[in-house]
Amino acid sequence: MVSEKEKKIVDPKCVIVALDFSDSGKVLELVSGLDPHNCRLKVGKELYTHCGPALVERLVADGFDVFLDLKFHDIPSTVAGACAAAADLGVWMVNVHALGGRRMMVAAGEAVAQKPHQPLLIAVTILTSMGESDLHEIGLAGCAKENVLRLAKLAELSGLNGVVCSPLEVEVLNQQCGEAFNFVTPGIRPAGTAVNDQKRVTTPVDALSLGSNYLVIGRPITAATDPLVALQTINADIHSSFILSA
């Protein structure tokens, strides 16, 4: 049992609901039952490619913090332009691939810094779908963990605000990166919920205890009979285990 004194401080809306849908109707129906004070939203490549920036602007106008998960990876000027456009959409967080290199990440950061609204800029290190043989095939030596750590450090050195990673990598990364560096973790499953196609999962409370700052949670909320109740249950669990930041 964690004493009150030892309790960690967490963001009261650390849950980011992954909107893995292909049409705006389903998204708007789901979101109409959610409260922007209790969660954030993630728009990924599928939804964005179907519905475009108009849906993102609508979610932002409805008061939600939106993580635009488009994983930009291109030459520095192109990624800088894309990140500037994301800032103009009013999103709360946007991401790039650390494999795009330091100059690309620095250019992205500089583009965002010039905007009146500045989203958090985070990096994807190694996709969790990549096994060791995949890494070797594309010429990356070492194991996944070594590559993740090296790329996370490069993202931090390039001025980014954090990385997307597995909750199982967070503890080591936390020891190696500064306090202000954020860890956004998918692969979260509340106890007793379906694992779906995730391989190794962590509960929300365990992920936060390990050092995650934000939890990306999709199907345990979006496929629940009552998504609001599913979110409230997760939040209640988090709120009883941690101190909430103001």
**Closer residue to ligand C5P, CB minimum distance, 110 or 237:** 237
Residue from 8, 42, 71, 115 carrying the catalytic annotation: 71
List residues binding ligand C5P (CB under 6 A). Answer: 18, 20, 44, 128, 164, 186-187, 196, 198, 216-219
Q: Which is nearer to ligand C5P, 111 or 166 (CB)?
A: 166
Q: Is the dihedral of CA 196, 231, 21, 89 positive or negative?
A: negative
Give the residue with the Cβ less far from ligand C5P, 187 or 227: 187
Question: Rounded to an integer, what distance in angstroms lies between the CA atom of residue 34 and that of residue 155?
Answer: 33
Q: What is the number of the residue whose Cβ is closest to ligand C5P? A: 218
Give me 178's structure tokens: 């500064």
Min separation Cβ 44 and ligand C5P, Å: 5
DSSP single-letter state for residue 4: G
Q: State how far the Cα of 144 lies from the Cα of 47, in Å rounded to an integer.
A: 29
Distance between CA atoms of 90 and 65, rounded to whole angstroms?
Answer: 9
Residues 197-222 as b/e (b if ≥16 CB within 10 A, e otherwise) read ebeebbbbbebbbbbbbbbbbbbbbb
Q: Shortest distance, CB of residue 128 to ligand C5P, whole angstroms?
A: 4
Closest CB 114 distance from ligand C5P, rounded Å = 28
For residue 71, indicate whether it is catalytic.
Answer: yes
Closest separation between CB of residue 161 and ligand C5P, Å?
17
> Which one, 138 or 246, has the nearer CB to ligand C5P?
138
Closest CA to 8 of 229, 171, 165, 210: 210
Provide DSSP, 145-211: HHHHHHHHHHHHHTT--EEE--HHHHHHHHHHS-TT-EEEE--B--TTS--TT-SS-B-HHHHHHHT
Q: Minimum CB separation from ligand C5P for residue 36, in Å?
A: 19
Q: Output 43 or 107, the one with its CB closest to ligand C5P.
A: 43
Give catalytic residue positions: 71
